[in-house]
Structure 1
Amino acid sequence: MASNDIIKLVTRAPASRRQFLIGAGTALAGMTLGAPAIAQSKELTIISNIGNASQREVLQRIASAYAQESGVKVAINNMDHEAHKTAIRSYLVVGAPDICFWFSGNRMKTFVKRDLFDDISDLFERENYNNVLGPAAGAVTVDGRHYGLPLGGLLWGLFYRKDVFEDKGWAPPKTIEGLLALGEQAKSAGMIPVSMGTKEMWPAAGWFDHMNLRINGLDKHMALMDGKMSYTDPAMLPVFDKWAELINAGLFSPNGTSFGWEQAAAALAQKKAAMMDLAGFIKYGFPEDQQDQIAFAPFPEIIQGMSRYEDFALNSIHVPKNAKNKENARDFLAFFYKPENLSAFLETESAVPPRNDCPPSKDPLVNAAVESLKTVEGSAQYYDRDTDPDMAQEGLKGFQEFMAKPDRRDQILERLETTRKRIFKA
């Protein structure tokens, strides 16, 4: 994600992971609607950046149901996704809607620092969201205060074919030593241990996130993302040393810079590779009649006893600080965020619900991610969502280069540190 921007969900295998954080919705069959706490005769305005017509329709149906229950007219302005990225910088200052869709992580923090998103911690407390969101709450939290609600997300980890592992008698590795051992077994079977295509650069950043979270933990990882920690800090060396060990052991696809994630996913689907580091949209690299063979496993442990932290990339929905009807906005969010409504909004995009009390999905990979999240202590977004966009672009280049030339570690880290100092004025 050189940004995690999302575009329209299409029926063919999509061009990047960006497409899976905003996608299609589903009919609101059997939706239980409760009256909001406050009903006022006002118009509530919403600006959405949803690119898919099906999900826009679901949002409209939720808004109509809310209007019928509350008497509050709801007007939705659906903007082009790319145009919205520019427009939000203006409308949050002048002409703000009551609710808008955006991204969590660093992109949300940018507007929080400018005091352009409202603190909705009162809504969190009123609706007891902290108890149902778990680590997902961190995606919309700054200095202990909440500035939005997380929407559907992508949980990153290792994916494999159940039939291949059953046939070979393999088990998903729980430790990095187990991953190296599985790699040797896969090579003996004539397979690539971990399929990895870095032509689009971001897959390498995902592997970095996993390594850094497993070795240094969430606090140090986020300090790096926020520009408060140096790329030449001694804590970075074990991350790249262990990563280099995996590269030099032949764990990854050869010539990975020459092809993208879709080709890498196809290698897994065709039983040419044993595992792949991705999120649930990996299924679009598989024939539909083979998608039931895909299984998920968390990235293996590296430092024994380190709490489990994961990349759980989430979009979000917010109340602008300059909104006119903040009370109605909170009531609509409470209505929209009911488990049955949120699930209807997310269902067919294969996104993982952020709250743990949503009805089960029709997608087994989504349900597997929901169960896995119950054991996660905290979550990051993804490298290029968590840090400054210019820093992210240099980081993506550096990680891609490192996977091809791990002996360039020191030069790459020095270059990233120079970029960090320039961007964060460290």
Structure 2
Amino acid sequence: MKTHHEENVQTAVKFVAETSNQDPIANTSWLVAWLFIITLTAWLSPITADASVVSDNASRDLISEPKEALPKEKASATLNVAVLYSTPGHRSLFEGVREEFEQHHPDITLNFTGLVDASYKQALVPWLESGEMDVLYWQAGERLKNLVRQDLLLPLTELWQSQQFDQAFPETVKNLVSVNQEVYAIPYSFYTWGLFYNKPLLEKLAISPPKNWAELLRMCEKISKAGKVPIMIGSGDPWLPAAWFDYIDLRLNGLAFHQALLAGEIAYTDQRVRSVFTHWQQLIEANCFNSDHQLVTWRDMLPPLYRQMTAMTLLGNFFDNHVPTHLAEDLGFMPFPTINSKIAQFENVPTDVVVVARKTKHAALAMKFLRFIAQPEIQSKIASAIGQSSPHLKASKEKGHFARLNKPVLASAVGLDQYFDRGVSQSMVGASLAIFAEFIEVPNVERATAQLEQLRLKNLKSSNKDSVLSTQ
């Protein structure tokens, strides 16, 4: 059988023979042109032939392409990660995390799903139950323990031990992510609560930052006489007053008591809880606070502090990125004053973590991401971007003015708490915060403790419990 190349040659020769009586120069030119076309066709034919093979086998792999041409598409696996967007900067932050992770792990594609606070909390449990998300943002303490009790999280103790994270994170932080000796989360950022004060104002009035309860009351008296507000408080954000309840209880009764109380294991009519409200009442009746607290959000607390209209406020340093640079040096930070000298120093340190769904189908990939997110360099970048601190002992110093003050507080604390609304049953949060706001307005100890106890009993009943639980 003749090939199409041989047939083309014969056609050219025949054409020249038939036209031999015509102009010989023209015939020669035609022959040269024909031979050039034939040669070019012969050279291109393997390419067009391969293309026809690909076309004929479109339903199969591209066999004309070498196997290594598409390595990521062939080997890539997707890890679904859920995150909470609490500020506009979170989206770009996690996009940067994704890019850096994929540079180190080109065989893994990170797929971030971000929601705002309320929507995220509603989606969390369904995500865990379905296994739709592999790795998820969450919060340490009671909220983490609640998911563990529902058997929704994958234990991470083996990862923690293999990576020697005991040398990377303080024991107080490890306790926040552990339940019954098992680790269930990797911490990556935190912020501290404490008293922020205007240094020039206190210096002008010859007042030292109060270290104990008596000094705090004397400070209130002196600043009030100077026509200033001693302490700015607000209930415009309903969760703000809870910091006062937390800290007075921590300083009076300690961490174990406070956590048991919030877990529903102790009655709010207990004398030790009544003492918390009695101390809070002392501050209110000493005119330590502003009277317009219902209108004051956490953002509203800052301008009066800058302008020496108030001496101090109890706040978390999540506001670090909101402080003008030229004003930051005028603000000092101090831990909440001592009340009971026999009680060790415990601090409110809300801590953000990542967890792995027990139903994940990509546990090995998830462990790679957790090892990545636990690196001090990565934690430092995240913390600096959101104005918080990394709990990693080798993380670099944060950029924020007040974030740099977190590490000494963390180092000196004997134990850490996670804030009232992260520790109490979620069914109690809204009503409890309303009781705190009402107490600032009318400091009735009997009414406040009775209302909180009623909430506790209602919550226990809904949880099929009818008595005070023993400490677990």
In which range does the TM-score fall when normalised by the shorter chain?
Answer: 0.7 to 0.9
- Please say if residues 139 and 350 of structure 2, whose CA atoms lie closer than 8 Å, have aligned partners that are also in contact: no
Structure 1 residues 254, 50: CA separation in 2 closer, same or farther (over 3 Å shift)?
closer
Q: CA deviation at 1:41?
A: 6.4
**Cα deviation code 1:231-266 (max 9, x no counterpart):** 111211221111111111111112322433332332
Q: Name the structure 1 match of 2:102.
A: 67
Q: CA deviation at 1:284?
A: 6.3
Q: Name the structure 1 match of 2:115.
A: 80
Deviates more, 1:55-64 or 1:206-215: 55-64
Distance 1:282 1:181 in 2: 28
Q: CA deviation at 1:394?
A: 1.8
Structure 1 residues 283, 345: CA separation in 2 closer, same or farther (over 3 Å shift)?
closer
Q: Name the structure 2 match of 1:173.
A: 210
Q: CA deviation at 1:287?
A: 4.4
Q: Name the structure 1 match of 2:436.
A: 399
Q: Name the structure 1 match of 2:168.
A: 132
**Residue of structure 2 aligned with 1:100, choices 116, 132, 136:** 136
**Residue of structure 1 aligned with 2:83, choices 35, 44, 48:** 48
Q: Name the structure 1 match of 2:300.
A: 263
Query: Which protein, 1 or 2, shows the higher relative CO under an 8 Å CA cutoff with sep ≥ 6?
Result: 1
CA RMSD of aligned residues (A): 2.1
- Please say if residues 199 and 256 of structure 1, whose CA atoms lie closer than 8 Å, have aligned partners that are also in contact: yes
Return the letter of the residue paired with 2:174. A
Q: CA deviation at 1:133?
A: 2.6
**Residue of structure 2 aligned with 1:190, choices 227, 231, 239:** 227
- Structure 2 residue 404 is the aligned partner of structure 1 residue 367: yes
Q: CA deviation at 1:174?
A: 0.9
What's the TM-score once normalised by structure 2's chain length? 0.77
**Residue of structure 2 aligned with 1:280, choices 314, 317, 328:** 317
Q: CA deviation at 1:339?
A: 0.6
Structure 2: which 5+ runs fail to align? 1-74, 462-466, 468-472
**Cα deviation code 1:259-281 (max 9, x no counterpart):** 33332332212211111000113
- Please say if residues 136 and 312 of structure 1, whose CA atoms lie closer than 8 Å, have aligned partners that are also in contact: no
Structure 1 residues 99, 243: CA separation in 2 closer, same or farther (over 3 Å shift)?
same
Counterpart secondary structure, 2:312: strand
**Cα deviation code 1:117-159 (max 9, x no counterpart):** 1111222222232343322223322233221122322200000
Distance 1:345 1:146 in 2: 22
Q: Name the structure 2 match of 1:29.
A: none
> Highest Rg: 1 or 2?
2
Structure 1: which 5+ runs fail to align? 1-39
- Structure 2 residue 373 is the aligned partner of structure 1 residue 332: no
Return the letter of the residue paired with 2:400. D
Counterpart secondary structure, 1:46: strand
Q: Name the structure 1 match of 2:360.
A: 323
- Please say if residues 200 and 330 of structure 2, whose CA atoms lie closer than 8 Å, have aligned partners that are also in contact: yes
Aligned pairs for 1:208-247 (under 5 A) are: 208-247=245-284
Structure 1 residues 297, 147: CA separation in 2 closer, same or farther (over 3 Å shift)?
same
- How many matched pairs? 386
What's the TM-score once normalised by structure 1's chain length? 0.85
% identical aligned pairs: 26
**Residue of structure 1 aligned with 2:387, choices 350, 353, 356:** 350
Counterpart secondary structure, 1:400: helix
Deviates more, 1:176-185 or 1:277-286: 277-286
